[in-house]
Amino acid sequence: MTLPNQPLAERLRPRELGEFSGQAHLVGKNGVLRKLIESGNIPSFILWGPPGVGKTTLAGIIANTLKRPFFSLSAVHSGVKDVRETIEKAKKQQFFNMPNPVLFIDEIHRFNKSQQDSLLSAVEQGVITLIGATTENPSFEVISPLLSRCQVYTMIPLGETELVELMNKALKKDSYLSAFDIEITENEAFIRISGGDVRKLYNALELVVSSEADQESSGKIVIDNEKVLRHVQKNLALYDKNGEQHYDIISAFIKSLRGSDPNAAVYWLARMVEGGEDPKFIARRMLILAAEDIGLANPNALLLAQACFDAVNVIGWPESRIILSEAAIYLATSQKSNSSYIAIDDAIAKVRKEGDLPVPLNLRNSPTRLMKELGYGKEYKYAHAYSGNFIVENFLPEELKGTVFYDPGINSKEEEIRKKLKDMWKDIYNYGNL
């Protein structure tokens, strides 16, 4: 039986909200988007989430449910001219008391500033309701004026139960798959390969079925983990920047940097470069690592990582690969410390456990006479008025006095910090033996 021209994911794309799977926090019974849809009045918004979780599908369902004219652009293939032409078409669709058309822009993070600027007026004036879809953090990739005019809704990868249900549904409802007698005895490989991406799950399912159908003559197709892995590994590309390996390879890259292996780091970097990965994504992850895994062992690492991020934004390909390589090698060969990362997480945990402990009176601001009479700011010791610009004082709530959140790491830089803190704070904080 010949495979249909249309991919399985497209053949089974939901057309109504009741057919949509996952994202219960948005479109479930009490989901915020469901309530907006039911009200018939939706704002402009951005759907942020990994590939294959239904961003495009949900946008189409919303427009269809509200019976709005629907325009769709891909930021990969469209420019300012396309945006303006689409907005003009949207204006012609407007009628008295009629709701405005929906403009869906896929991968909106790929629009540059001028392209995003071209949307502002239409969104602000209500010419269109904008629905953007992005796999990248909108805080970094969407300009502030546009972001301030849009709500941001986060979409999450589908869970195992939802993915298995979708597979079973596909076997029964799809015209191609339902023609075979298929038994899936193990789901683990499908779930692992999909990584929560429905599109990738459907691609793998259709690939395995078509491969087995070519080999099987008895009519019954039995699928287990071994068959899934054999067929998928044989046919899928080495690097899919929108799929599972996107996450696997960036994970290997970060772990290589953390593990101080510049050779492995450069290799995984090369895999991403050759796969067409967004250089800003790589630079941003190195920026996070510089703070999380190097920190105060080498404070210059954060500065260099920031310089790398800025340079990549200015330079572009192919020269950016050299900047990324230099930064990766520097970070890999630097001393490591996660003390700052641990400190803030420990402090947050304490805040959540202890609640809003009162600020000591001597640390409070006292802008009014009443506050001064109540003792606000009384007996505060101004550090610069003392020798060495330091005086022993308790700056924590009384209940947490002496609690150590920052424990310097074991490296030359932070050993110096530990010695300094021990000498300064010996009467309050215990920084252990040197």
In tens, the pLDDT along 315-340 reads 777 788 899 999 999 999 999 999 89
Are the CB atoms for 103 and 128 separated by under 8 Å?
Answer: yes
Give the helix/strand (H/E) hosting 103.
strand 102-106
Question: 289: Cβ–Cβ under 8 A, 6 or more apart, which residues?
Answer: 254, 257, 258, 305, 331
Give the helix/strand (H/E) hosting 106.
strand 102-106
239 pLDDT band (50/70/90 cuts)? Answer: very low
Q: What is the pTM of this model?
A: 0.56
236 alpha carbon, distance to own chain's centre: 24
166 alpha carbon, distance to own chain's centre: 24
Give the helix/strand (H/E) hosting 328.
helix 320-333
3-state secondary structure 40-97: CCCCCEEEECCCCCCHHHHHHHHHHHCCCCEEEEECCCCCHHHHHHHHHHHHHHCCCC
CATH class of 244-333: mainly alpha
Asked if domains 22-154 and 160-235 share a fold, the reply is: no
Are the CB atoms for 324 and 248 separated by under 8 Å?
Answer: no
In tens, the pLDDT along 148-157 reads 889 999 998 8
Indicate the domain borders of the chain. 22-154, 160-235, 244-333, 356-424
Angle (CA) 89 90 94, round 5°: 120
Give me the helix-helix angle, 320-333 and 279-289, nearest 10°.
20
In tens, the pLDDT along 194-225 reads 878 888 889 889 888 888 887 765 578 888 88
Q: N- to C-terminal Cα distance for the chain?
A: 74
Dist. CA 131–CA 380, nearest whole Å: 52
CATH number (1.10.10.10, 3.40.190.10, 1.10.8.60, 3.20.20.105) of 160-235 reads 1.10.8.60
Task: Dig out the tokens for 231 from the structure.
Answer: 């067929």
- Domain 22-154: homologous superfamily in CATH: P-loop containing nucleotide triphosphate hydrolases (3.40.50.300)
In tens, the pLDDT along 1-35 reads 556 678 888 899 988 888 888 888 998 888 899 99
Expressed in percent and rounded to 5, the helix, strand and coil fractions of the chain are 55, 5, 35
Beta bridge partners of 109: none
Identify the CA nearest to 285 among candidates 244, 335, 324: 324
Question: 9: Cβ–Cβ under 8 A, 6 or more apart, which residues?
Answer: 52, 198, 199, 202, 203
Are the CB atoms for 364 and 372 separated by under 8 Å?
Answer: no
